Amino acid sequence: MRRFQVSMNKVLFPTGKTKILLLIFIALLLPAIYYTVYITGGIKYVYSHSMYIPILLAGIIFGLKGGAIVALVAGILLGPFIPINTISGEQQLIINWIFRVIIFLIVGILSGYSFDVLRKKIARITELLTHHPDTEIPNSRSLSFDINNDTTIVISIIVNNYNNIICSLGKEIFVALMKAVYLRIKDDLKKAQVVQSDSSKIWVCLNDDMESFDPERISKLLNAVFILGDIPMYLDFSMGIACCSENESRQKSFQQADIAAYHAKQNHLQYSIFDESQMAVRNNNLELLGAFPRALETNQTELYYQPKINLKTREIVGIEALIRWNHPVRGFMLPQEFIKAVEETQLINPMTAWVLNNGLLMIKEFQKMDMETSVSINISAKNLQNPRFLNQAIGIIKEQNVACNLIEFEMTESSLIYDPEKTKTLLQKIRDYHIALSIDDFGTGYSSLAYLRRFPINAVKIDKFFIQQMNTDLGVNHIVRAAIDLAHNLNLTVIAEGVENFETEQSLIKMNCDMAQGYYYTRPLNGTDIISWYQGYNTKARKGMRFQ
C-alpha cells in the first residue's frame, strides 16, 4: 500500500529526472502508436484508440496544457498523415480527422484540468496535514517523511506559560510567540529541523554530538525577551534532550526528549538530558495513577493530622489533614511519592473531595468527645481551576453538616497566579461562606506579600525551609521577623510550619508569631492517635510542660 502511495506521488507530482523520463515515454508512445496504426491497416481499425493512452497520461502528469498539446499532436498524427486503409490508400475526409482532433482535445483538456484540481487539493491537504493549523509551522508529520538521516540529537521544548498567555493575552499573541520561537531557533541553528509537535511543544533535530552540543546556548536564545508588536514577552519553557542511537527509532528519541522535558518541568530545571531513570519515574507514575481511583474508593488512602498551636494562648486551634496511601504492594506511602503525579491530572478533584469529606468526619469525631477544633485542607492549583470545585465542596460540607467556620483551605501562592482575577472572585465566594483561607509554603514562590494581599486571605504559613534555619542563620532570622511584621501590618495571621524544637518556638514567640505547627508538638498522627494526643496535650499545656 505504502509503495503504491509512493509511486502515485511520483506520477502526480513528478520532479526532475522522473519528469523528463515520463516526458520521453509519452513522446515515444506517440510515434509508436502511429506506426502500429499504420502497419495494422490504417485508421479504420481499432488500434487508433490506443492514442487515448498518451493523451490521458499527459493530462494526468502534465495537467491541462500537457493534455491539450499531446491531444493536438495525436490528432494531427492520426489525421492527414494516415489513410483510412493503408492497403487501398483511401484517404480520410478532413471533417473526419478534425472531429477526432476535437474529441482528443476534449479528453486531454478534461483529464488535465481534473488532475490539476486534484493536485491542488492534495497539495493543500498535505500542507494542512504537515503544518500546525494555527501557526503554520511544520508539524511532526512533515518530519516523519523527510527526517535527516544523520540527526543525532533531538530536543523537546515545552512552553509552560501556554495557558497563562492564552488566558490573559489571547490566542493570537500565543501563535505569534510560537512563530517567533520557531524563527529564532531556525535562524540560529541553520541546519536544524524545527517542527511544532503540538500546541505548546517544539521539537528540534540536530546533527551534532553530545560532547560538542551546548544546551545553554538554546537556553540563552530562548530566555532573551520576545517583542511581539510592542508587548515584551517572556517564554517560560522546559527543555528535554535525547540522543538518537543508531538502533533506536526516531519516534523513541522524541518520546525520550519529551520525558526529559517533563522531568525538567517538574523539577523546575531549564533543561534535562534523558536518562532511563526518568522513564522509570514516568512508568511508576502511570502505574500509581492507574491504581489511585480504586485506592480512594476502597479507603487505601488515609488521613493523618497535625495540630496547629496558638503561641499566645497555647490552645490547639486546628488540625491539618495530610493524606497517606497504604498501598497493597508498596506499603505505607507519604504524599511526596504520589501527590505530584495526582496533582497533574484531574484525579486531584476526587482526591480533594475525599480529603474534605474525611476531614469533616474527623471534626465530628472530635465534637462527639466535646472537643472543638477546625480542619485545614490542602487545595491544589487544579482544584481552583475546576469550575465545579466550590459547589462540590459546599455540597460535601452541607452533607456532613459541619459549620464552614471550622474549615480552612490552604493554597500555595503559585496556584493563585494562574488566572488571578478569576481566582480572586472564587476566593471571595469561598470567604463569603466563612471558610478561612491561608497561603501555604509562604516564601518559596516569587510573589510579594503585598501582591498576595490582593486576594481575600486570612493567614500565611511561613515555609518550614525558613523556620528550620532561623536559629542558625541570621539572614533567615531577619527574613522571618520581617515577614511576620509585614503580615501583621496587612492584618494577616502568621503560622510557622516545621517547628522542630523549643528554641525555635521561643524565638517565634518573641517575634510575635501567632501560631506554630511542627514535629516539636507532634508528627502527623492517624485518626485514633490524634484524639489521644489532643487529650494528652490539654493536660500538658495546662501544666506548661515542654514537649520532647
Residues of span 40-69 touching Ca ion by CB under 5 A: none
Q: Is 524 in the site for ligand C2E (CB under 6 A)?
A: yes
- Tally of CB atoms within 10 A around 225: 8
Confirm or reject binding of residue 413 to ligand C2E (CB under 6 A): no
What type of residue is 384? L
Among 378, 415, 438, 507, binds ligand C2E (CB under 6 A): 378
For 342, other C-beta atoms within 10 Å of its C-beta total 24
Query: 526: which strand partners?
Result: 304
- DSSP state letter for 415: G
324-383 residues near Ca ion, rule: CB under 5 A: 378
How many residues are given for the chain? 548
- Of 137, 155, 127, 332, whose CA–CA distance to 240 is shortest? 155
Quick check: 468 binds Ca ion (CB under 5 A)?
Answer: no
For the bound state, the minimum distance from the C-beta of residue 348 to ligand C2E, rounded and expressed in Å, comes to: 7
| Closest residue by Cα to residue 85 from 51, 48, 52 | 48
Residue 496 CB partners (closer than 8 Å, separation 6+) = 461, 462, 467, 480, 504, 508, 513, 515, 516, 517, 518
Give the integer Cα–Cα distance in Å for 546 and 26.
102
Subset of residues 317 to 346 that bind ligand C2E, contact rule: CB under 6 A: 321-323, 334-336, 339
Question: How many residues in the shown chain lie near ligand C2E by CB under 6 A?
Answer: 22
Q: Which does 336 bind (CB under 5 to 8 A by kind): Ca ion, ligand C2E, none?
A: ligand C2E
Long-range CB contact pairs, 534-540, < 8 A, 24+: 534/307, 534/316, 534/366, 534/371, 534/373, 535/371, 537/307, 537/316, 538/316
By the 8 A CB rule, do 470 and 498 touch? no
Residue 78 contact among ligand C2E, Ca ion, none, beta carbon within 5 to 8 Å by kind:
none
- Residue 355 or residue 360: which is nearer to Ca ion going by CB? 355
Compare residues 321 and 362 and give the one whose CB is closer to ligand C2E.
321
Min separation Cβ 522 and ligand C2E, Å: 9
* Cα–Cα distance, 480 to 425 (Å, whole number): 30
Taking the least distance from each CB to ligand C2E, the nearer of 265 and 382 is 382
Site for ligand C2E in 420-449 (CB under 6 A): 440-441
Check binding of 176 to ligand C2E (CB under 6 A).
no
Alpha helix ranges (H) inside 131-207: 140-146, 162-169, 171-188
By CB under 6 A, is residue 460 in contact with ligand C2E? no
- Closer Cβ to Ca ion, 272 or 415, answer by number: 415
**Which one of 6-14, 56-64, 123-131, 512-520 is the stretch in contact with ligand C2E (CB under 6 A)?**
512-520
- The 419-448 site mask, x for binding Ca ion (CB under 5 A), equals ---------------------xx-------
Name the minimum Å distance from CB 508 to ligand C2E: 12
Of these, 63, 483, 498, 531, which contacts ligand C2E (CB under 6 A)?
498
Q: Is 408 in the site for Ca ion (CB under 5 A)?
A: no
Reduce the DSSP state of residue 410 to 3 states and report it.
Answer: strand
Phi-psi region of 206 (alpha: psi -120 to 50; beta: other; left: phi over 0): beta
* Three-state SS at 320: strand
Q: What is the largest CA-CA distance in the chain?
A: 136
**In this structure, what C-alpha cell is assigned to residue 163?**
495557558
Cα→Cα distances 522→287, 330, 545, Å? 33, 25, 14
Q: Does residue 507 touch ligand C2E according to CB under 6 A?
A: no
Determine the interface stretch with ligand C2E among 63-71, 94-102, 288-296, 497-505 (rule: CB under 6 A): 497-505
User: Smallest distance, Å, CB 229 to Ca ion?
Assistant: 41
Assign 84 to helix, strand or coil: coil
Pairing mode, if any, of strands 493-497 and 301-310?
unpaired
Q: Which of 68, 78, 375, 410 binds Ca ion (CB under 5 A)?
A: 410
From ligand C2E, Ca ion, none, which one binds at residue 355 (CB under 5 to 8 Å depending on kind)? ligand C2E
Asked if residue 308 binds ligand C2E (CB under 6 A), the reply is no
Q: Which does 63 bind (CB under 5 to 8 A by kind): Ca ion, ligand C2E, none?
A: none
Q: Which of 54, 498 has the CB closer to ligand C2E?
A: 498
Residue 519 binding partner per list ligand C2E, Ca ion, none, with a CB distance cut-off of 5 to 8 Å that depends on partner kind: ligand C2E
DSSP letters, 211-226, are: TT--HHHHHHHHHSPE
306, interface contact from ligand C2E, Ca ion, none, CB < 5-8 Å by kind: ligand C2E
Q: Which is nearer to ligand C2E, 336 or 491 (CB)?
A: 336
Q: Cell match 490542602: residue?
A: 378
Q: How far is the CB of 334 from ligand C2E (least distance, A)?
A: 5
Considering the rule CB under 5 A, would residue 504 count as an interface residue with Ca ion?
A: no
> Contact residues for Ca ion (CB under 5 A)?
378, 410, 440-441, 497
> Contact residues for ligand C2E (CB under 6 A)?
306, 321-323, 334-336, 339, 355, 378, 380, 440-441, 464, 497-500, 517-519, 524
